[in-house]
Amino acid sequence: MTKEEIQNWFKGLQDDICAQLEETDGKGRFQEDLWSRPEGGGGRTRVIKEGHIIEKGGVNFSAVYGPTPTKILEALKIDEADFFATGVSIVMHPLSPMVPIIHMNVRYFEMSNGISWFGGGIDLTPHYINDEDAKYFHNQMKECCDRHDASFYPEFKKWADDYFYIKHRKETRGVGGIFFDRLSANDQFSKEDRWKFVQDVGSQFAPIYTHLMTKNKDLPFGEDQKQWQYLRRGRYAEFNLVWDKGTKFGLDTDGRTESILMSLPPQANWEYNHTPVDGSKEQQTLDLLIKGIDWV
């Protein structure tokens, strides 16, 4: 497949996900913002706000190219080369603290020297961890991975546990999911194999999240739960601003700042030295923000 074919499939994925999210939300509609990058390429940022279920969310497509920034060349330890990168990136912040935050990214990267790879992943960040939802989510991820290779889920699940980890808090961002990067062709998997896997991962997003939206949207909550949601959103913002490689890549390649920071919540709180009550649902959630939990 060509980079143009990959780019066009990602555009179609963006269209499909936006349509399914709008239908499930029932009120919110995506507003599109087309942008261009002076060095080459651009994207379609789509933001949904003030829906029945989604308070703020974004489904972004981009395809950018040009000379590779020095910082990235140094990180890859290669000589000067041009790059092309395309993908879809999603973050949903629901109105209800009983509906989880979700993130997905699927992407393709190639360079003029012949280097190319795929990356991506999906992870779930509940404000209150629900065993049933966590198990459902991870079983969907495992079934997707198993369609391609039995080694993928355990490998990519551990990768997600390690990647979506807020080191300065010593807690995971949520219940994890799968994460993978720099998947290139090798003796076992062709480039076409890698692409089919990434397509399968991307296609999981809408059915999984629309199910969780519908299942949890009418659960009761009060002001205490909203305040906890704002604190958890603060943790989410900390990860994205301090540790997320996608955020750093976008800023390093002079991407569009508004689109890159779309992942941040509409409102988040930071309370000094907040300590949940022993035995509370908030404390139970914190106790589960650890690596290595077997959800399947």
77 token code pair: 């330890």
Q: Computed over its alpha carbons, how large is the radius of gyration of the chain?
A: 19
Spatial neighbors of 56 by CB under 8 A, at least 6 apart, are 47, 48, 49, 50, 93, 265, 266
Helical (H) or strand (E) element with 175: none
Burial category of 154 from C-beta neighbours within 10 Å (exposed 0-12, middle 13-18, buried 19 and up): middle
Rounded Cα distance between 112 and 122, Å, is: 29
Residue 274 known to be catalytic: no
Q: Catalytic: which of 93, 103, 127, 138?
A: 103
Whole-angstrom distance between the N-terminal and C-terminal Cα of the chain? 34
Q: In one letter, which amino acid is 115?
A: I
Rounded Cα distance between 265 and 281, Å, is: 22
Q: Are the C-beta atoms of residues 87 and 62 closer than 8 Å to each other?
A: yes
**So which residues are the catalytic ones?**
103
